[in-house]
């Protein structure tokens, strides 16, 4: 698959655009109600059993056939005129996070310690809204839309990777794929796009340093695992900053250190955890080898042993340039050029990346903030919420991309 091939989006007629706008407005309250249902009943990654059943019920009511993949994933197939002319995929994730919600809202999470704090309830609702719109207009657009309701975006190995292994990009094979994510620093009413590199890869680092422990007053009789860990943490930062171009975004953060439990004992074991992020896949894997080599040599030279594991996570999100340019122009016709912005580079990760490395993809952002109303909390926080007027735009934009013919 040539991911850099020229792609043309034939924007649908003004008449169909207006119909999509009208239907998005008509069904917005219904889809917001669906969002409330989902938000109140969040489920963790790979445990989205009730969420999956709910989506299946919604698609059944729309007479949209579907199949189940990756245990809880729901893959709908919506056909317009000339269904074999082209296939486009629209994707939404549906898992929640292990966070206790602090919002005082009628649809607050009813599952203790679990919350839709990343907007996946919004993504799922918007895709269901788009499905409703496209189903009603199926005699007005051409081709087939594959609706991907995906589990497990928040946790390795990523639901996208599992769905791909189970054939989600086959039978029929979509020519391109679109995904949408809430953007908590972008005002409601706006959309944002970015071509090329968009988000970073994400790999998890686990290190255990083992040495001879002993009395803190006699460090010369030990292999001081605390000191070794301290040196290693600093050296890892130097390793990244001095082997990578400053023009190639990359981050290594050690986020956890555990060892010892009293003041006068040097522990025999220290555990470190962290994350490594990169935008360039070649540098990503080169850095893995540098980390392993340097860490092993340093720890062993200081008289200890090391157990190091790098858990490979999501690759970087790569937006097909031609597809994204075309989608941006489509958005400008939908919400106005003044309401379409460029998404900033982000070192966060998203498993939409797996799709974007297989077929041309476009991952864009939906503005959900409302500063005047105080709706500004970020994702992955206990007070995350959105201005729900954004749902009308989100479902409408997804429907428009589904109806637009990509060549």
Examine residue 74 and state whether it is found in any structural domain, yes or no.
yes
Residue 318 confidence (pLDDT): 96
* Residue 270 counted as domain residue: yes
Question: Mean pLDDT, the chain, as a whole number?
Answer: 95
User: Average pLDDT, stretch 68-90?
Assistant: 96
Mean local confidence (pLDDT), 239-257: 95
How would residue 361 be classed by pLDDT, with cut points 50, 70 and 90? very high
Q: Is residue 211 part of a domain?
A: yes
8 Å CB contact between 19 and 382 = no
With respect to residue 293, please indicate whether it lies within any of the assigned structural domains: yes
Note whether 194 and 205 are same-domain residues: no
Whether residue 1 has pLDDT greater than 50: no
Question: Given 283, 314, 345, which residue is the final one in a domain?
Answer: 314
Same domain, 49 and 122: yes
pLDDT at 284: 97
Last residue of a domain, one of 314, 331, 347: 314
Is residue 351 predicted with pLDDT exceeding 80? yes
Task: Give the residue among 391, 397, 399 at the shortest CA–CA distance from 38.
Answer: 391
Same domain for 209 and 237, yes or no, is yes
Considering the domain architecture, whether residues 357 and 276 belong to the same structural domain is answered as no
314: annotated active-site residue: yes
Instruction: For the chain, give the percent of residues with pLDDT over 90.
Output: 95
pLDDT in tens, 81-100: 999 999 999 999 999 999 99
Residue ending a domain, choose from 289, 314, 339: 314
**CA atoms lying within 13 Å on the CB side of residue 220:** 0
- Within-domain flag for 187: yes
**SS3 for 66?**
strand
Residue 12 has pLDDT above 80, yes or no: no
- Mean pLDDT of the region 33-50: 98
Decide if 3 is inside a domain.
no
CATH number, domain with residue 32: 3.40.630.10
Q: Render pLDDT for 179-200 as a digit per residue (tens, 0 to 9).
A: 999 999 999 999 999 999 999 9
Residue 281 has pLDDT above 70, yes or no: yes
Whether 4 has a pLDDT exceeding 60, the answer reads: no
Same domain, 38 and 164: yes
Q: Over range 387-394, report the average pLDDT.
A: 98
Q: Is residue 297 part of a domain?
A: yes
3-state SS assignment for residue 368: strand
Q: Are 112 and 246 in the same domain? A: no
What 8-state DSSP symbol labels residue 11? P
Are both 180 and 191 inside the same structural domain?
Answer: yes
Q: Which CATH number goes with the domain that contains 283?
A: 3.30.70.360
Please say if 107 is a catalytic residue.
no
Instruction: Read off the pTM.
Output: 0.93
176 burial (CB, 10 Å; 0-12 / 13-18 / 19+) is: buried
Give the pLDDT score at 345. 94
Question: Is 322 found in the same domain as 310?
Answer: no
Cα–Cα separations (whole angstroms), residue 404 to 32, 59, 286, 294, 382: 25, 21, 40, 51, 37
Residues 282 and 346 in one domain: no
pLDDT digits (tens, 9 = 90+) for 134-178: 999 999 999 999 999 999 999 999 999 999 999 999 999 999 999
Does 1 fall in a domain?
Answer: no
Catalytic residue from among 43, 101, 142, 388 = 388
SS (H, E, C) 121-157: HHHHHHHHHHHHHHHHCCCCCECEEEEEEECCCCCCC
> Based on the domain organization, do 190 and 75 belong to the same domain?
yes
Tell me how many domains the chain contains. Answer: 2
- Provide the 10 A C-beta neighbour count for residue 206: 14
27, 314, 350, 355: which one is catalytic? 314
Residue 31's pLDDT band (cuts 50, 70, 90): very high
In terms of residue numbers, what domain contains 212? 201-314
- In a shared domain, residues 166 and 278: no
Q: Kindly state whether residues 35 and 143 are assigned to the same domain.
A: yes
């Amino acid at each position: 698959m040539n991911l850099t091939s020229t792609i043309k989006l034939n924007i649908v007629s003004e008449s169909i655009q207006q119909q999509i706008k009208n239907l998005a407005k008509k069904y917005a309250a219904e889809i917001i109600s669906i969002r409330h249902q989902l938000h109140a009943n969040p489920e963790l990654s790979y445990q989205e059993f009730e969420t999956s059943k709910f989506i299946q019920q919604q698609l059944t009511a729309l007479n949209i056939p579907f199949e189940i993949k990756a245990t809880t994933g729901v893959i709908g197939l919506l056909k317009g005129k000339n269904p074999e002319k082209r296939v486009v995929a629209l994707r939404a994730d549906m898992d929640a996070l292990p966070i206790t919600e602090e919002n005082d809202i009628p649809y607050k999470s009813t599952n203790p310690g679990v919350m839709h704090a990343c907007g996946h309830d919004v993504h799922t609702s918007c895709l269901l809204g788009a499905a409703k719109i496209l189903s009603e207009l199926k005699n007005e657009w051409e081709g087939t839309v594959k609706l991907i309701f995906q589990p497990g975006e928040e946790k390795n190995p990523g639901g996208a990777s599992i769905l791909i292994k189970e054939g989600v990009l086959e039978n029929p094979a979509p020519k391109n794929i679109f995904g949408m994510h809430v953007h908590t620093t972008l005002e409601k009413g706006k959309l944002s796009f970015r071509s090329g590199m968009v988000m970073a890869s994400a790999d998890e680092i686990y290190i255990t340093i083992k040495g001879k422990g002993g009395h803190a007053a006699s460090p010369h009789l030990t292999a001081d695992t605390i000191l070794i860990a301290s040196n290693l943490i600093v050296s890892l930062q130097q390793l990244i900053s001095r082997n990578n171009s400053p023009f190639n975004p990359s981050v290594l953060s050690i986020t956890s250190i555990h060892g010892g439990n009293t003041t006068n004992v040097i522990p025999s074991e220290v555990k470190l955890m962290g994350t490594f992020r990169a935008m360039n896949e070649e540098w990503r894997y080169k850095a893995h080898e540098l980390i392993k080599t340097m860490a092993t040599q340093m720890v062993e030279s200081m008289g200890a042993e090391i157990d190091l594991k790098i858990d490979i996570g999501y690759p970087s999100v790569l937006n097909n340039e031609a597809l994204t340019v075309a989608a941006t122009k489509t958005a400008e016709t939908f919400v106005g050029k003044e309401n379409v912005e460029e998404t900033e580079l982000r070192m966060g990760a998203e498993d939409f990346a797996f799709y974007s490395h297989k077929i041309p993809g476009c991952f864009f952002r939906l503005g959900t903030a409302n500063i005047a109303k105080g709706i500004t909390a970020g994702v992955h926080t206990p007070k995350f919420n959105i201005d729900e007027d954004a749902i009308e735009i989100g479902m409408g934009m997804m429907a428009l991309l589904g109806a637009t013919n990509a060549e």
